[in-house]
Structure 1
Amino acid sequence: MSEAKKLHVALFPWLAFGHMIPFFELAKLIAQRGHKISFISTPRNIQRLPKVPPNLAPLINLVSLPLLTVEHLPQNAEATTDIPSHKTPYLKIAFDGLQGPLHQFFQTSTPDWIIYDFAPHWLPPILANLGISGVFFSMYGAWTLSFLGSSTSAMINREDSRTRPEDFTVPPEWIPFPSKIAFGLHEAKRAFGDHIEVNNSGFSDVFRLGSVIGGCNVIAIRNCNELESNFSRLVGELHCKPVVPIGLLPPADFDGSSDQDDMWLTIKEWLDKQNKGLPFFWALRKRENSVKLPDGFEERVKGRGTVWTSWVPQLKIMGHESVGGFLTHCGYASIIEALYFELPLIMMPISIDQGLIARFFGEKMVGIEITKDEKDGSLRRESVAESLRLIMVEKEGRGYRDKAKEMKKLIADKDMHDRYVDHFVEFMQNHRVA
């Protein structure tokens, strides 16, 4: 390959760590190829990011933009992890207030490309005026993008033939191949109020998503053709945009023996003693006014389980030999990490896209979804116990365990995922706005 010009690439993720961390991993991968990076977020989030590797420090500039003070948003709340979910629209209002500072940054720093998330519906016109190329980097799988809208204009102008929650419980008519990916009724009802219709931020999430897709030069998806190609191809056809898979961004250079800090040693000591039955390690990150355990719960499960309410080293826990399965809310990044360690999935989705992720990986037979009440999304303790036993110990679950092991080969293929990133970087080098 001939020596192409080195790029200056800015990255601007939504204020959630499930978005910021994959953006940060992509930033490091681009920097490894010799390109200059500006990673843009707010001061507290910048401080909470993983450390930049010393060899990449000269190429990665961490840019802090101050977040507006917004009514109903607690002081120092700069990410979704800092607030209960019903206050997320107010975080989006604060995020929209970054428009002015970001515009100023572009005028002085002039990146060749900016890679951005679903939320800044106001960003594409700014980029067009300044002659900066834009990548929409989707944290959502191609199946979710396909499900949410038939075209950019339909998403922006709310021209969807689906007008009731019930309409979202079946695959849409524009998906031309067999698929079971759709919302459950309880998911559709919640999505309608929180994401499909206008929320307290002043805009619907679908409007935001349609706007950034409509204004980008290319759609980048955390995906690879070896996992699926039909939905990725369909996204390009629906939105008339090039779609570039960037690989799955699997865990890089995992070493379970490193960073022997006191917290990990405490957790490891407990894990080392577990080898039979179904003991559990529950990482329960408590948000304000969120999950409350029943009185006496921790005392009753003593000896059978541990509830950990602060940050945990998830990769180290998953890589421990005593861990045999992963009960997950179905965040895409966590599922990729679990399958990297050959862990079959017990899926309990919560937010808008997680149900669709559960359906997708359910079709891959790498785990099962816990049965919920269709109307209200409640679940029975018996359903949880039955799902855990099936996946973890029973003969009937062996097929899921075997499929999870097979998926490891795909996710751990570093050379393959590197080629996807190489192709993405080459695309940016060859398709900049003149």
Structure 2
Amino acid sequence: MSKPNFSKILQNLKPDLVIYDMLLPWAEHVVNEHNIPAVKIVTSGAALFSYFFNFLKNPGVEFPFPAIYLPKVEQVKMREMFEKEPDVEDRLAGGNMQITLLCTSRTIEAKYLDYCTDFLNLKVIPVGPPFQDSITNDVDDKELIDWLGTKDENSTVFVCFGSELCLSREDMEEVAFGLELSNVNFIWVARFPKDEEQNLEDVLPKGFLERIGERGRVLDKFAPQPRILNHPSIGGFISHCGWNSVLESLDFGVPIIAMPINNDQPINAKLIVELGVAMEIVRDDDGNIHRGEIAETLKDVITGETGEILRGKDYSKAVSQCQ
């Protein structure tokens, strides 16, 4: 259904150029039928983009930037991802590859952008994020923002793993106990699969909500992430390291406690650790997280000297700078 409708739109609008998402490779074919130039946009960073191409085109050859490494567990996950999505190379490398737009900035990824250009013989143009959410005052968020206003500067951590990712029951328990053991203030957005009816009290450790009291807020609904990250009480962000969340954290100058799960997230996490704006929660050899490690990392960032060091790295203009 999308192709014929898109074709009609092109016929009516007659644009001079079409920028299409790499996830929709069919769009270029439709555009070519109308003799309109098309440019691909990749909604990720250059570190990920170059790592993927090195992985695909130089199998077994080590990526030339040692900061971007993946442990064996993550390498296995990547191989499995490529096996499940055999068209991923075509989506990345297919079509008009003379010019590709990347949602990043030279301020944070200059050497990875240059590697893309040299290795792929490709002109890569950083264009920043596709859009930025405006920070608005919603009456539905008033209680949450008022609660944040009662906390000291940089004393609170925001915990959110994106709009689609749901933690396993085991990981949710470790995160909960990690937050409890850390003794820091927090806002935690706990998401569940759309087809599952869940009650927070049934999923969280018994007595957790009572024990944390006024120190934390656990939400099972949408939260205004940009507004929360921009609040002076927020001193850290436990994140899965999706690219949009990474860019928002850089924009607002909030250190990240990285807890990547899958796909691009492990590489994004390595990048921001390299930039000096994040600490990654260390997993065991089987890829599991543990409450003690979460708690110690949290305390380092929120109440320790590490947080001051991370907050001292200013990339607040990086998101808006395209070149």
Q: TM-score, structure 2 length as denominator?
A: 0.79
Instruction: Answer yes or no: is 1:387 the counterpart of 2:297.
Output: yes
Which residue matches 1:343?
A: 254
Distance of aligned partners of 1:110 and 1:231 in 2 relative to their CA distance in 1, 3 Å threshold: same
Asked whether the 8 Å contact 1:133–1:217 carries over to 2, the reply is no
Which residue matches 1:54?
A: none
Shift of residue 295, structure 1, vs aligned partner: 4.7
Shift of residue 391, structure 1, vs aligned partner: 1.0
Provide the C-alpha distance between the structure 1 equivalents of 2:294 and 2:28, rounded to a whole number of angstroms. Answer: 44
Which residue matches 2:139?
A: 262
Which residue matches 1:116?
A: 20
Shift of residue 327, structure 1, vs aligned partner: 1.0
> Aligned AA for 2:110?
S
Asked whether the 8 Å contact 1:250–1:337 carries over to 2, the reply is no
Provide the C-alpha distance between the structure 1 equivalents of 2:98 and 2:16, rounded to a whole number of angstroms. Answer: 12
Provide the C-alpha distance between the structure 1 equivalents of 2:254 and 2:315, rounded to a whole number of angstroms. Answer: 10
Provide the C-alpha distance between the structure 1 equivalents of 2:75 and 2:195, rounded to a whole number of angstroms. Answer: 24
Relative to structure 2, which stretch is displaced further, 287-296 or 337-346? 287-296
Of 127, 140, 144, the residue aligned with 2:31 is 127
Asked whether the 8 Å contact 1:325–1:343 carries over to 2, the reply is yes
Taking the TM superposition and a 5 Å limit, the aligned residue runs for 1:26-425 are 98-150=2-54, 160-162=57-59, 172-173=61-62, 175-176=63-64, 178-193=65-80, 195-199=81-85, 203-211=86-94, 214-247=95-128, 251=132, 258-259=136-137, 261-275=138-152, 278-288=184-194, 293-296=203-206, 297-375=208-286, 377-403=287-313, 406-408=314-316, 410-411=317-318, 416-417=321-322, 420=323
Provide the C-alpha distance between the structure 2 equivalents of 1:387 and 1:336, rounded to a whole number of angstroms. Answer: 21
> Of the two structures, which has the highest relative contact order with CA contacts closer than 8 Å and spacing of 6 or more?
2
Provide the C-alpha distance between the structure 1 equivalents of 2:148 and 2:103, rounded to a whole number of angstroms. Answer: 32
Asked whether the 8 Å contact 1:346–1:367 carries over to 2, the reply is yes
Q: How many residues align?
A: 289
Distance of aligned partners of 1:263 and 1:355 in 2 relative to their CA distance in 1, 3 Å threshold: same
> Identity across aligned pairs (percent)?
25
Cα-to-partner distance string for 1:104-146 (whole Å, 9 max, x where unaligned): 4333433221111122233333333321111211111111111
Distance of aligned partners of 1:396 and 1:227 in 2 relative to their CA distance in 1, 3 Å threshold: closer
Asked whether the 8 Å contact 1:146–1:231 carries over to 2, the reply is yes
Asked whether the 8 Å contact 1:197–1:204 carries over to 2, the reply is no
Asked whether the 8 Å contact 1:280–1:306 carries over to 2, the reply is yes
Asked whether the 8 Å contact 1:250–1:340 carries over to 2, the reply is no
Asked whether the 8 Å contact 1:223–1:248 carries over to 2, the reply is yes
Asked whether the 8 Å contact 2:108–2:318 carries over to 1, the reply is no
Q: Secondary structure at the match of 2:248?
A: helix
Provide the C-alpha distance between the structure 2 equivalents of 1:198 and 1:340, rounded to a whole number of angstroms. Answer: 34
Distance of aligned partners of 1:105 and 1:223 in 2 relative to their CA distance in 1, 3 Å threshold: same
Asked whether the 8 Å contact 1:250–1:411 carries over to 2, the reply is no
Shift of residue 332, structure 1, vs aligned partner: 1.8
Q: Which runs of 4+ in 1 moved over 4 A?
A: 248-252, 289-292
Provide the C-alpha distance between the structure 1 equivalents of 2:37 and 2:98, rounded to a whole number of angstroms. Answer: 6
Q: Secondary structure at the match of 2:77?
A: helix
Distance of aligned partners of 1:207 and 1:251 in 2 relative to their CA distance in 1, 3 Å threshold: closer
Q: Secondary structure at the match of 2:257?
A: strand
Shift of residue 390, structure 1, vs aligned partner: 0.7
Q: Secondary structure at the match of 1:229?
A: helix
Cα-to-partner distance string for 1:193-228 (whole Å, 9 max, x where unaligned): 2x31144xxx433332222xx435521112222222
Q: Secondary structure at the match of 2:188?
A: strand
